Amino acid sequence: MAEDILVDVDNSEEGRSYWDQGDKISTSKIFNKMGIGRHSKKDSRLADGWIARKPSLYKVSSEKRSWQESRDSCLNMGADLIVVNDIEEQKFLLPYKNVWIGLSDTDNEGVWKWVDGTPLTIKYWAPGEPNNAGNEDCAEISSKAANPMKAWNDVPCYSSFQYICEDHF
């Protein structure tokens, strides 16, 4: 865990052989050994219906919202809309249709940006997309795509869709 701090552990006393990793140990290791915080973020996400696919956890919403409301909902859960970084992540999306992904060109028409600032390099647009057909600045997974590996479509950001949040382990 990034927020772990290393603490000094006193090995000098009898009975402290418990701490056999040396004289520095992370706080999460101590808490785990004490049975505190055994429920990792991953465990609680899984209990809440998130799907684990290393290195990420995903939550497919049941409700439909605009793109911004969807993003806010993910942010409120400490996550964000899904960023598709590679072909495996695009394959993960295959079962899902009409869901928001974390891609928009609201700030600068024609310049598509992932929510985390990742530049758009790999692209899985449906043929002819993005076409900005009537001010379409947010990306969804189209239900009409013949090839599901070419399925992104731009639609108006106020459209109401389910959405996929992504968090990291």
What residues line the site for ligand MAN (CB under 6 A)? 129, 131, 133, 136, 153-155
Burial (CB < 10 A; 0-12, 13-18, 19+), residue 163, is buried
Partnered with residue 81 across adjacent β-strands are 165
Q: Which residues contact 103 (CB under 8 A, 6 or more apart)?
A: 83, 84, 112, 113, 114, 115, 120, 138, 139, 152
Should residue 137 be labelled a site residue for Ca ion when binding is judged by CB under 5 A?
no
Q: Which residues contact 68 (CB under 8 A, 6 or more apart)?
A: 157
Answer whether 47's CB lies under 8 Å from 136's CB.
no
Residue 167 contact among Ca ion, ligand MAN, none, beta carbon within 5 to 8 Å by kind:
none
Which residue number, 53 or 150, has a Cβ lying nearer to ligand MAN?
Answer: 150
Distances (CA, A) of 39 to 36, 48, 80, 130, 143: 8, 13, 22, 42, 37
To ligand MAN, the closest distance from the beta carbon of 141 in angstroms equals 11
Which residue number, 131 or 143, has a Cβ lying nearer to Ca ion?
Answer: 131
Which residue number, 7 or 133, has a Cβ lying nearer to Ca ion?
Answer: 133
Q: Which helix (H) or strand (E) holds 59?
A: strand 56-60
Which residue number, 92 or 161, has a Cβ lying nearer to ligand MAN?
Answer: 161
To ligand MAN, the closest distance from the beta carbon of 129 in angstroms equals 6
Residue 143 contact among ligand MAN, Ca ion, none, beta carbon within 5 to 8 Å by kind:
none
Task: Indicate which single residue of 131, 135, 143, 160 sits in contact with Ca ion (rule: CB under 5 A).
Answer: 131
Distance in angstroms (rounded) separating the CA atoms of residues 1 and 163: 27
To Ca ion, the closest distance from the beta carbon of 149 in angstroms equals 17
To Ca ion, the closest distance from the beta carbon of 53 in angstroms equals 27
Interface residues with Ca ion (CB under 5 A) are 131, 133, 136, 153-154
